[in-house]
A = this chain, B = another copy of it.
Amino acid sequence: MNGAQRLIRTLVDCEVKVCFSNPGTSEMHFVAALDEVPEMRAVLGLFEGVVTGAADGYGRMTGRPAATLLHLGPGLGNGIANLHNARRARTAVVNVVGDHATYHLENDPPLAADIESLARPVSGWYRSSASADALAADTVDAVAAACGPPGVVATLVVPADVSWSEAGGGAVAAPGRGSLRAVADEVVSGAAKALRSGEPAVVLLGGGATRRRGLMAASRVVNTTGAKLLCETFPARLERGAGLPGIERLGYLAEFTVAQLAGAKHLILVDAAAPVSFFAYPGIPGYLVPDGCEVHVLAEAGAGEDAAGALEALADLLGAPTDGARVQAAERPERPSGALTAASASAAIGALLPEGAIVSDEANTSSIFIPGATAGGPVHDWLCLTGGAIGQGMPVATGAAVACPERRVLSLEADGSAMYTLQSLWTQAREGLDVTTVIFNNGSYAILEMELSRVGAGAPGPLAHAMLDIGRPEIDFAALARGLGVPATRVATAEEFTVALEGALAADGPVLIDAVLARG
């Protein structure tokens, strides 16, 4: 058994059974070994950003890591933006990067680069495997590190000679499952004391607290105390819909967050960082906790603490009834008619959202009405742009669909963002994934038009606006989708959009809808 076979066998033994791949020559032994370990499912991406984003989506939905397979430093480079998003989502990923043979690096061949320097900023764990004999243990360590908790990107570099050499050494046991650390009683009682103070308080959920258990307990807490319940701006995975507590997200714009937190005297952080502005602006604060507001950390963000358990303990300590959560009633918007706008498209999505849908949301400015329109729909998961690096949405949708073949995936994309990792569509077609992609086509980097007016740069001229205009030439997303093997349709009215969406959600395999929004 060579190193590559040993690597894949060990991954499978550790229950890592999907590998999103974009290999090159230094990974050919890995590729050749796939037939030896057919329990590993290799999913090909045409671009590394698809690979790393899909691993993120898979990990968010399963709680277990997928592997990647990337080619040397430049291949890793192409995957960095979505590894950055995975890092911010605290997703477990086993990031496998092939390298030149160890003895060949001194020759500085053309593709040689400093892989470690590129990988460190996105990796919670990093190792370059020194030998085929060590590779099984290195792989187990990578899986254990990736799983945490908290989940991290664990980058395992595999030199070509480590892949092709005979791998000795005995079997290596798969790592035990890490468990969340319980929050100390005095931390819970401290939060209870603040909430009983009678002063205005906010409970802010993030990370592992935005799933059913955490939401139900948090709802009990705020219903008993009158505190305000919020969650972070871009949760990695938010469960929502009828029968679950609805929750307001912190605003993207600092001004909104300031308004949401105004007057709070206590801020209870539950696996969430203290709110900061997404970007700094001249004269606007970056740290958004109000002056005079005391911060209480119930569960530290990204520290592997049992946030949901802490919320349940807090609710119990506060004497909240066990059935004291207030949940969202079932309700849907009507099917819309008339002009196709962000609002009418949202109504159509709310009217048609399937039971158990997974929504990958990278619609940016076009998505502001969608959470409201879907709040009372059937229970679903919402996956956000955790790290702000656009080009995440379509790969995450792809990985989520691989993870959950029995569920429908709805990929909501802004036109600008879609052009970073559009190659995702080809993988969706190849794998026959039930992903419905909606492109909100406004021909503009609309969020930047908004930002341009907000940063205090004066009155921008035509050269500035031209940099944000992606409608010249117009992008035909339906043509692009068909070119990648995905059926597509272009629509321009609310009725057309609703009919197209209904058809797409009933279809086998991927469909794309190019939703040309009314401009003006």
Chain A residues near B (Cβ < 8 Å): 4, 21, 23-26, 28-29, 31-35, 38, 42, 44, 46-47, 49, 73-75, 77-78, 80-81, 84-85, 88, 100-101, 103-104, 107-111, 113-114, 117-118, 120-122, 160-161, 164, 234, 273, 276-280, 282, 286-287, 386-389, 391, 416, 419-420, 423, 426, 429-430, 447-448, 451-452, 455-458, 460-464, 466-468, 470, 472-480, 482-485
Contact = CB atoms under 8 A, between A and B. Distances in A.
A28 B448 contact: yes
A107 B100 CA distance: 38
Contacts of A286: 101, 103-104, 107, 109
Contacts of A277: 104, 107, 109
A419 B45 CA distance: 10
9 contacts: A28-B448, A31-B468, A32-B460, A42-B463, A78-B81, A100-B280, A107-B286, A160-B280, A474-B485
A113 B121 contact: yes
Contact of A73 (B121, B416, B463, B473): B121
B118 A389 contact: no
Contact of A279 (B26, B426, B482): B26
Nearest to A26: B279
Contact of A28 (B34, B110, B423, B452): B452
Given A273-B108, A485-B474, A121 B118 contact: yes
Contacts of A386: 110
A117 B109 contact: no
Given A113-B122, A278-B111, A475-B485, A457 B32 contact: yes
Nearest to A450: B25
Contacts of A81: 74-75, 77-78
Given A42-B466, A75-B81, A107-B277, 15 more contacts: A4-B457, A31-B448, A32-B452, A44-B470, A73-B80, A74-B81, A74-B84, A74-B387, A117-B118, A117-B121, A164-B282, A419-B426, A473-B484, A476-B483, A476-B484
Contacts of A389: 74-75, 77, 111
Contact of A80 (B77, B104, B391, B470): B77
Contacts of A49: 78
Given A118-B118, A467-B31, A108 B25 contact: no
A447 B452 CA distance: 45
A171 B473 CA distance: 39
A189 to B, nearest CB: 29
A188 B114 CA distance: 35
Contact of A457 (B29, B120, B276): B29
